[in-house]
Each structure stands twice: as structure tokens, then as C-alpha cells.
A and B are shown apart, each in its own frame.
Chain A
Amino acid sequence: MHFDWEFFWKALFTPSDPFVDGLILTIVISVVAMVLATVVGLVVALMRRSRFTGLRWLAGIYVWVIRGTPLLVQLVLIYTGLAAVGLYQFHDVSLFGMSVRAAVQAAIIGLMINESAYIAEIIRAGMDSVPKGQFEAAASLGMKPAKVMRWIIVPQSLRVMVPPLGNSFNGMMKTTSVLSVIGVSEMFLVTQSISSATFHTFEIFIVAAIYYLALTTIWTFIQAWIENRLARQLGVDQRVPITQRLLGARRAEPALQQA
């Protein structure tokens, strides 16, 4: 075996600038796409609960189409496809003094659209988990629908929604590796180019794997903190040991019950 340890340690502890830039881009794209996807997902979820049949249909079709097609296909359609038929061409833009590459814009939009369909379903399930009596009690106190959501339904459904949302984000960080296809210089593409320049394919991809693992592990801790905080706010005792989170173990989600 020819494993170049020197190259490995160097790449791991003193990563090159392009690698660090790739890492940062991976994080930034994940966070921005996740935030936007949550907003769009919320809108779609609310549309699915709308009293207007047309809106319900529209949202249903959106979820069906987006979840039923691969992200890779969606990305190529958005970035290359739209330009090819002359519908829309992404250009580099300057935003808050930073230059945002065309491919990065397409990547964020693609990830946002893809993820929003899943998040819409998470949010819908979260809202459905709140008993009908809660809506009725709030309505009988004269709350308008927006306030019912804000003060009664959202706080209760968050506890059900946050774990799968967190898992979504975890998946999103790994999914960014797909963006290399449209030429976004995130961590995967950078790793690939280092690999082809140095022929240290195994070493550099092990390094990349370690960095992905570090990202998702750190996020697992953050997610645990958020969930525990939320549980405390809602006055429920629920602690999931961190080992169980990382190493995986089935956990029963006790339904949020009144009484």
C-alpha cells in the first residue's frame, strides 16, 4: 500500500486555501439554501392546508414533481437547461460586496426548490400532529388564524418538526457534493481537482470525508442543543444521549399530548 501519510496529515491539518474556500462554500450554500427552503416549504405547507382547492392542488403537484425527480436533473435543468432554451441565464452578481458566481446562484436555487418540497411535508406533518381541539380552543378565544398559528400551533408542532428538519440539514450538507456537476467549487469539486493534480486520490478523499463528518457531527450537537432547549421550553422531559444520536438507535417519539 502506498498511503502518503505526510501528504495526508498536511492536507488534513493545513488544508490549502482552495480547500478551505470549498469548505466555506459548502457551509454557506447549505445554510442559505436551508433557510430559503424552510421559508418556501412553509408557504407550500400552508398552501396545502388552504381552503382554496386550487392552492391545495398547486402545492400538491409541486411536492409530487419535486420529490419525484432527482436533484441532479433539477440542477442541470435550472443551470444549463434554462440557458440552453434561452429562458434564463445565470450571471455572476455582486451581493453585499461579495461576488456570487452564477453556478452558486443556480445551486442555491436548485437546493432550495428540492429541499422545500420535503420540508413542506415535514411542516405539514408537524401541524397535523397538533390535536384539532387546540385549533378549536384558540378559535373560541377569538384568535385570528395567524395568531392561532403563531402562539398555539407553531410552538407545539416545532417539537415534532425540528428533529426531521435537522436531519434534512444534515443531509443537505452532504448533498452539496452533487453541485460539482454544475461546476460549483465546493468541497467535493476542490477535492477532485486536488486529486487529479496530485494523484493522491485516496488520501485527499479521506480528508474530505473527515471534513464532511466533522460538519455533520458538529451539526448533530447543535441540533441536540436546539431540541433540548425546545423540550425545556415546552416543559417536557426528553433527553437523547449524544452517543445515541451519532451512532444511531431507534427512539420512540412520544406524541405531544395534552393531559
Chain B
Amino acid sequence: MNAKEATVSRTVESTIEPVVSVRGVSCTLGGRKVLDDVSLDVARGQVVVIIGPSGAGKTTLLRSLNHLEEVDSGQILISGVPIGHRDLTSTKRVGTSELARRRREIGFVFQHFNLFPHMTAAENVWNAPVRVLGTPKDEARRDALALLTRVGLADKAQSRPSRLSGGQQQRVAIARALAMRPKVMLFDEPTSALDVEMVGEVLAVMRELASEHMTMVVVTHEVRFARDVADRIVVMDAGRIIEDAPPAQLFANPRHDRTKAFLSTLN
């Protein structure tokens, strides 16, 4: 196969290939098996919400998608590229530079925002494009302002995170992740650390993202959000995926007893 053919076949492949592909992943943390042979595919433009009782492995699974958590076995592919290994067939760990490069395509939103406290909201957003991608500063600044406008925080561009409410901080964090133009956005309980009255504003931004066909994987306890926005809901329990179905089907007719038990605790 010559180079041109290779490019063509890769392009074709990428259109049918899932953005996120988890294959038989297991992970042990502190002697406990947190993920037990988990497999999951997320197609382009899909919104997958992961729910389940605490300790089920939701957050670990999400963090392993951009290698914040290292798995023991199995494979995690982002757009067909294994996140933690050198290539598809290799079992060798990826180097730090290459890992950094691969992470640029994956946006991550943390439960506790993790904004950079020494930077303004705008700087939080434009910093990575400038330092990592080499985007010219004025261009990155313009993009940052546009992103902050999009999450409704144009007027807070020059504020430090310490001057922002939790909901505002989380919206800046989403803008920061979007600034890298990721292929997929991962949300780790993005509203769990927020006061009730601020949950709505963050979910609204996420709803909008979903409506623009951003590929999203969301760990959350917000059932209404899951029901409205998710294409699929994945239920985890004790490190395993026990159910994976569209919301309508899942809520109307949960197949697994544990799913029923878990759903009943939410209402």
C-alpha cells in the first residue's frame, strides 16, 4: 500500500471508527478492582452519560480515557490511536511528549474545575492554545473571548477564578477545554461541587454543546440531563458496565435488577 492509499484508507476508517473505543479494560487502584473488563464505544457526535452508584468506577473509566488513570490491561483508543501505548500492537508505554500531544484532542472538565488561580478567566482559556499549539496571542485572545461569550461570561474575562462563583468557574473550565478544539469532551461530575442554583447554568452550556454535535462522555448524577441529552446511558456497577441503552428504553424498561435498584434511589 503506498502512502496515498494509506491516507485515503485512514480517512475512510476515521469516519466509521468510534471517537472513543474502550476494549476490555481493567484497572486496580489501591488493591481494589475498580474497572473489570469494561468495553465501550462512543461514535462521533454521540453523547454518552455514565451513571451508577458511587464507587462503581465511573470516574476512573472517564479519567482513563485521557490517561489520567493508567489501566492494567485492555486498550483505550481515541480516534483509533491508543492513548497509553506507543501504537496499536505495542505494549510499551507512550512517551510523555507523545502522550501530551494525544491529550490535546481530548477536553476534560473536572469536578472541582481546577482553573489556574494565577490567571484571569481569559488567560485560563487562551493559555494552552498559545503555549501548546503555538497559536498567535491575539488570535488566541479573540478565540478566548468568543468562547467566554459562548458560555455567557464575556464580562468576566478579566476576573480571577477566585472572584467567580462555582458555576462561573465551571463554565470557564469548559471554555478552556474547548479552546483546544478537542474531538471529544469528557465531563467528570461537572455539577457535583456546585450549589444547586448554579447547576442549571453549567448544564445549559453542556446542552448547547450537545446540540452542536460535540462528542461527549459525561459522568453525572443529573438524571434529567441524562434523559434529555444523552443518546445512550451507560450504567456501571462494581467496575462493570451492566447496562447500555438509549434513555427512553433504560428508564421505561431497565433490564438489570441493579439498574432498577439504582434508578429507584434517584427518585
Q: Mark A120-138, 1 if CB is under 8 A from B, else 0.
A: 0000000000010110111
The answer to whether A258 and B117 have CB atoms under 8 Å apart is yes
Q: Mark A143-167, 1 if CB is under 8 A from B, else 0.
A: 1110100011001100000000000
A interface, over-half SS: helix
Interface check B68, CB cutoff 8 A? yes
Assuming the A-B contacts A142-B132, A147-B132, are A137 and B116 also in contact, with contact meaning beta carbons closer than 8 angstroms in the complex? yes
The answer to whether A258 and B161 have CB atoms under 8 Å apart is yes
Closest residue of chain B to A233 (Cβ to Cβ) is: B118
Q: Report the bound CA distance from A233 to B116 in whole Å.
A: 13
The answer to whether A156 and B131 have CB atoms under 8 Å apart is no
Q: Report the bound CA distance from A146 to B161 in whole Å.
A: 24
Closest residue of chain A to B129 (Cβ to Cβ) is: A141
Query: Taking the nearest CB of chain B, how far is it from the CB of A45, in angstroms?
Result: 19
The answer to whether A133 and B112 have CB atoms under 8 Å apart is yes
The answer to whether A142 and B96 have CB atoms under 8 Å apart is no
Interface check B169, CB cutoff 8 A? yes
Closest residue of chain A to B169 (Cβ to Cβ) is: A259
> Which of A144, A152, A259 is B96 in contact with, Cβ under 8 Å?
A144
Q: Which B residues lie within 8 Å of A233 (CB)?
A: 118
> Which of B102, B104, B161, B166 is A141 in contact with, Cβ under 8 Å?
B104
The answer to whether B114 and A137 have CB atoms under 8 Å apart is yes
Closest residue of chain A to B173 (Cβ to Cβ) is: A137
Interface residues of A (CB under 8 A from B): 131, 133-134, 136-145, 147, 151-152, 155-156, 233-235, 256-259
In order of increasing CB-CB distance, the 9 nearest A-B pairs are: A142-B104, A137-B114, A140-B108, A141-B128, A133-B114, A258-B117, A235-B160, A144-B100, A142-B103
16 further A-B contacts with Cβ under 8 Å, apart from A141-B127, A141-B180, A142-B180, are A133-B110, A134-B116, A137-B114, A140-B68, A140-B107, A141-B128, A142-B101, A142-B128, A142-B132, A145-B100, A147-B132, A151-B127, A257-B117, A258-B162, A259-B112, A259-B117
